[in-house]
Amino acid sequence: MSREEGATVLRRLADGVENGSVELGGDEGTVTISEQFEVEVEYEEEEDEAELEVELEWSMDDGAPASAEEESDEDENEVAETSETKADDEE
């Protein structure tokens, strides 16, 4: 996929979030997006591959975002290690 094609996918996703629902490909259906949610952006590098993830998270109970305290320590450590890796690579 080209950068231009990727940007188009992300714009469609952003439009869906703004409108309150995102259509997924295939038989996946549509996801209703909560009025309030958290966004997490992660960057990871491996030997020959890089990955940028954008994650939206909200509580299924009341539409409020899930608490940051609900995230596991393992995820927090992964983000910290990833940030350190990127900083080391930039030096």
> In tens digits, what is the pLDDT along the chain, a chain of 91 residues?
999 999 999 999 999 999 999 988 878 889 999 999 999 999 999 999 999 999 999 988 755 545 444 444 445 445 545 445 454 555 5
Identify the pLDDT of residue 40.
96
Residue pair 10/21 in contact by the 8 Å Cβ criterion:
no
Identify the pLDDT of residue 77.
45
Secondary-structure breakdown of the chain: helix, strand, coil percentages, each rounded to the nearest 5: 45, 25, 30
Identify the pLDDT of residue 62.
58
Identify the pLDDT of residue 61.
78
41: Cβ contacts below 8 Å, ≥ 6 apart: 52, 53, 54, 55
Q: Report residue 60 as tokens.
A: 């299924």
